[in-house]
Structure 1
Amino acid sequence: MTAHSQTPQFFLTSPSVCPYLPGQFERKVFTHLVGLRAPELLDLLTQGGFRRSQNIAYRPACERCRACVSVRILVNEFEPTRSMRRTLAANRDLIGRMAPATASSEQYALFRRYLDARHKTGGMSEMSVLDYSMMVEDSQVDTRLIQYRRRGPDSSFTPHSDGELTAVALTDVMGDGLSMVYSFYAPEQEQRSLGSYMILDHVERARAMGLPYLYLGYWVEGSRKMDYKIRFQPQEHLRPKGWERFEALEEK
């Protein structure tokens, strides 16, 4: 698709083993996000259940399964639960800075530690430093990188006073919300619940930016690794008739 194309072209992948549900196979429909209309197209496709990976927008197109459900948090109505407030308190020594998406060797070292501890056999396990740089920087939409470090004594004045890199989030800024593309963190600091903390931080960032939604990607019913997404209430799920409110019983 060129910068002057009016209609994007969509393609369908061949079946492959599903990474979430045993015994299932997945297919995806995808298109390219390039040219001047890429940000506008990303907004429209994300509202329609697509996700971004570099300059590709994709969504599941499985023949016999509809388990993948797009999820977005209603930012203006969200209130953290007791356990979420404990997570925020446990990470009050962290400071996150949002900047243009630029890769670094320090990020890649943390990324490798995270993959080796959490996703050693996953599809990303063989990513090189070049692959990582492309994941971060190969974007024609408004993509930011938020780096979380332990707060230094002069953090408000001197960025270099901050401590070791603890977590990273790759995030798209869209017309109606933030979309968390990928995040990773120091696996040895499990007590911090850094994955949940970054979602909570993104909710506040979206609220401060006047954006009504935080897009979390797909929730897969029956996949334990995706259960955490349901905790952030209230939220909407994309169903055949459109976005519908979803609320589960949760602690207050």
Structure 2
Amino acid sequence: MRHTLPIAPQFYVTAPQPCPYLDGRVERKLFTALQGDEAQILNDTLSKQGFRRSQNVLYRPSCAECSACLSARIRVADFQPTKTQRRIQKRNAHLIRSANAPWATEEQFALFRTYLDSRHADGGMADMDIFEFAAMIEETPIRSRVVEYARPDSDGGPAALAAVCLTDLLDDGLSMVYSFYEPTLRADSLGTYAILDHVEIAREAGLPYVYLGYWVPGSAKMGYKANFDALEIFRDRRWEPLGDPSAYEEATRPTSTDPIAEQVARITLPDGRARR
């Protein structure tokens, strides 16, 4: 009988382009394809090493002169909401949560367009059409869910969609891939509420972490993640408590980084071996 050995993933680097988080910076990403029978375990393994998923690609920042972007996750067992966050939970307690298969709907897309036009009209997703939106939601080779939050109608009509989060299920937690919400409800802090609710979902499921993507000190778009208790960041190939956010100010300045070949060589693959 012939046996086919799994093919080790190949890693590539994107061309430099303007950084979406810090003015005057240039970003570059290290990425690999996420496909085949081993997609789930590859996603689980690389997520623990600071990678994020976008459709069928796993990536992490690999900028030549900057190390500001740090993967962040919440330790569920140790998390305690602040007084402000408890008020946000209470304010949104009426929302109806549903977790569905990753299937795009017209209602989701309408909310997505409203969100982008209000919050990120000049961002990289500003021109996405319904087909590209559907690809973002549906092109997932792993276990994913679309978590929706809807407002009940006081007159008994259908509930109105208020927030949506595309969420991956990892072996050690939930990864919040992308969230959007009704911008007219800004006072309700729906983005914060979605994170708080995912902590509760993970707690109920016995999962230790909620992955939030990248925390970027000095970025107005990404700095909010430091407001969450029990936050860890991935730095120097290990997870560590965030500590004082102001101590990371130096990370927003140009620093030397390891060569790409060395970065790739240090990646641990699902079989436990380093990538060589």
Gaps of 5+ in 2: 246-276
Supply the distance in 2 between the matched residues of 1:82 and 1:210 (Cα, whole angstroms). 24
Match of 2:175 in 1: 179
1:5-33 Cα offsets, whole Å, 9 max, x none, are 43001111110000111111010010111
What count of residue pairs does the alignment treat as equivalent? 242
1:39 equivalent in alignment to 2:40? yes
1:27-73 Cα offsets, whole Å, 9 max, x none, are 00101110110000001111110110000000111001000001000
Rg bigger for which structure? 2
Q: 1:241, CA displacement in angstroms?
A: 4.3
**Structure 1 segment 1-252 matched on structure 2, within 5 A:** 5-151=6-152, 162-248=158-244
Q: 1:245, CA displacement in angstroms?
A: 1.4
Runs of 4+ in 1 over 3 A off after TM superposition: none
Q: 1:216, CA displacement in angstroms?
A: 0.4
Alpha-carbon spacing, 1:4–1:118, altered in 2? closer, same or farther (3 Å): farther
Q: 1:246, CA displacement in angstroms?
A: 1.9
Q: Which moved more, 1:43-52 or 1:143-152?
A: 143-152
Percent identical among aligned pairs is 49
Q: CA RMSD in A?
A: 1.7
Gaps of 5+ in 1: 154-159
SS in 2 for 1:183: strand
Q: 1:93, CA displacement in angstroms?
A: 1.1
Q: 1:162, CA displacement in angstroms?
A: 4.8
Supply the distance in 2 between the matched residues of 1:177 and 1:16 (Cα, whole angstroms). 31
SS in 2 for 1:188: helix
SS in 2 for 1:101: coil
Match of 2:262 in 1: none
* Amino acid of the structure 2 residue aligned with 1:100: A
* Amino acid of the structure 2 residue aligned with 1:136: I
1:192-224 Cα offsets, whole Å, 9 max, x none, are 000000000000001111100000010011101
TM-score, normalised to structure 1's length?
0.92
SS in 2 for 1:48: coil
Q: Is the 8 A contact 1:233 1:248 kept in 2?
A: no
Supply the distance in 2 between the matched residues of 1:4 and 1:171 (Cα, whole angstroms). 31
TM-score, normalised to structure 2's length?
0.84
Q: Is the 8 A contact 1:234 1:247 kept in 2?
A: no
SS in 1 for 2:184: coil
Alpha-carbon spacing, 1:31–1:46, altered in 2? closer, same or farther (3 Å): same
Q: Which moved more, 1:220-229 or 1:114-123?
A: 220-229
Q: Which moved more, 1:93-102 or 1:135-144?
A: 93-102
Q: Which moved more, 1:161-170 or 1:17-26?
A: 161-170
Supply the distance in 2 between the matched residues of 1:246 and 1:190 (Cα, whole angstroms). 27
